[in-house]
Structure 1
Amino acid sequence: MDTRNTGPGAVLVRRAVARDAKRLTRLVRASRAYEGPWAPMVEGYRVGPDYIETHRVFVAADGAGGPVLGFYSLVLDPGNASGPGATGELDLMFVADAAQGRGIGRRLIAHLREEAGRAGLDAVRVVSHPPSEGFYRSVGAERTGTAPATPPYVMWDRPELTLTIA
């Protein structure tokens, strides 16, 4: 499903396709949110065509053929993807540095909620980049715990949150 704004600067949210892989990889690696001590987590990171084909990856773009402004991926837990208590996980969510402050992140979360609802999920787990916790809380996610560091790629504990889908 496409979600559109009307008027100048319309933002389209669409399903990602394999040819988006390089653009999404560049967006992740270029993110200023992962500079300094956070850099090792995205160094060499790759969003591959196989990942896009396997998971529910959605792109926010500036118009039908415009630049990618952000994206998210919803990963369904195969053992718990339908019925009471069904959950998924927000695996990736990035907004291009130049697009920050334009409501793209909120737009992607709104789309995520719709997509999760269509998938029959009750909740979406979010393991957040520590500086992003405030954003997720501002869109209704509740802190549920802490995901421990997993060296050598993630050297810090991360907030774990739940976004209820109702």
Structure 2
Amino acid sequence: MTGTDTVRIRPARRDEAAALTDLALRSKAHWGYDEAFMAACREELTITAERTERSAVAERADGALVGFTTVDGAPPQAVLGMMFVAPEAMGAGVGRLLFAHAADTARASGCTRLVFDADPHAVGFYEAMGAVRIGETPSGSIPGRVLPLMEVRLPR
């Protein structure tokens, strides 16, 4: 994949839940996590049909899904629940498009902050997007593991 000119962001469909779950698992596994870690994360990374209603996907012109994001919460604070990019699309700007969409979605709902737990491998990306680390939060999947808690302010 060579850029974002052939990628569009659109609302996820309920029938895409399994494909988005697969994408999340492939994206997480890209960072070299072992099978036991991935098994522990499976439930947390499973997208339900209901969850797709708060999700947006990055779709190539050929119909391939190359990323997705979910945004939850209510003013003044939105939560970036999930954001994953397919390994084959990493480095092509898809993450930037998805993050901008998530921020715009949060801002449009009246939120002034977007907060989220970050995988340690993604902290540099989020910092490049303007986010700052504000603390840490316990992992929802791995007992004893903590994740960076990040925030980006959303100017009006």
TM-score in terms of structure 2 length:
0.86
1:112: Cα distance to partner? 1.1
1:40 Cα offset (Å): 3.8
What is the match of residue 66 of structure 1? 63
Contact 2:41-2:142 within 8 A present in 1 as well: no
1:88-127 to structure 2, matched below 5 A, reads 88-127=78-117
> Contact (CA 8 Å) 1:34, 1:41: kept in 2 or not?
no
Q: Aligned pair in 2 of structure 1 residues 120, 34: CA closer, same or farther (>3 Å)?
A: farther
Rounded to whole Å, the distance in 2 between the matches of 1:135 and 1:26 is: 22
Please state how far the C-alpha of 1:35 moved relative to its aligned partner: 2.2
Report how many residues are paired: 147
Is the 1:124–1:162 contact (alpha carbons within 8 Å) kept by the matching residues of 2? yes
Check if 1:154 corresponds to 2:142.
Answer: yes
**1:75 is aligned to 2:63:** no
The structural deviation recorded for 1:30 is: 1.8
Match of 2:126 among 121, 126, 136: 136
Aligned mates of 2:48, 2:116 — CA distance in 1: 21
Q: 1:163 aligns with which of 149, 152, 156?
A: 152
> One-letter code of the match for 1:114?
D
Instruction: Name stretches of at least 5 consecutive residues in structure 2 with no aligned partner.
Output: none
Match of 2:50 in 1: 50
TM-score w.r.t. structure 1 length? 0.81
Question: Residue 11 of structure 1 aligns with which residue?
Answer: 7
Contact (CA 8 Å) 1:28, 1:42: kept in 2 or not?
A: no
CA shift, 1:131, in A, is: 1.3
Gaps of 5+ in 1: none
Secondary structure at the aligned position of 1:33 is classed as coil
How far off is 1:134 after superposition? 1.1
Alignment of 1:32-47 (within 5 A): 32-33=30-31, 35-36=33-34, 38-44=37-43, 45-47=45-47
1:149 deviates by 4.0
Deviation of the 1:38 alpha carbon: 4.1
Name the residue aligned to 2:19: 23
How far off its partner does 1:42 sit? Answer: 2.8
The answer to whether the 8 A contact 1:116-1:124 is kept is yes
> Quick check: 42-51 or 15-24, which moved more?
42-51
